[in-house]
């Protein structure tokens, strides 16, 4: 779970950087608040799906009992 959180933190920083660049260019003002929020929710959803899917293989541990 530690790597999943770290990946998602990096992805969130990436999304913040993209939003800051789009804001500075004036693109966010042209498309409006509603579409910006919809795109942000979609981007966060994709980030969660990728973080969970790349979190590794789940293995069962077998304990030998005598």
What is the distance between the alpha carbons of residues 11 and 22, in angstroms, rounded to a whole number?
Answer: 17
Can you give the pLDDT at residue 55? 66
**At 56, is the pLDDT very low, low, confident or very high (cuts 50, 70, 90)?**
low
pLDDT, tens only, 6-46: 787 888 889 899 989 988 998 888 888 888 889 889 988 88
**At 51, is the pLDDT very low, low, confident or very high (cuts 50, 70, 90)?**
confident
- Domain spans in the chain, listed from the N-terminal domain onward: 25-54
Can you give the pLDDT at residue 17? 92
Q: Where are the alpha helices (DSSP H) in 26-53?
A: 27-31, 33-53
Can you give the pLDDT at residue 25? 92
């Amino acid at each position: 779970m530690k790597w999943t959180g770290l990946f998602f933190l990096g992805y969130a920083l990436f999304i913040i950087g993209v939003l800051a660049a789009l804001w500075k260019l004036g693109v966010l003002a042209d498309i409006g608040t509603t579409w910006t929020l919809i795109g942000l929710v979609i981007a966060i959803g994709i980030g969660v799906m990728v973080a969970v899917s790349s979190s590794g293989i789940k293995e069962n541990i077998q304990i030998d009992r005598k």
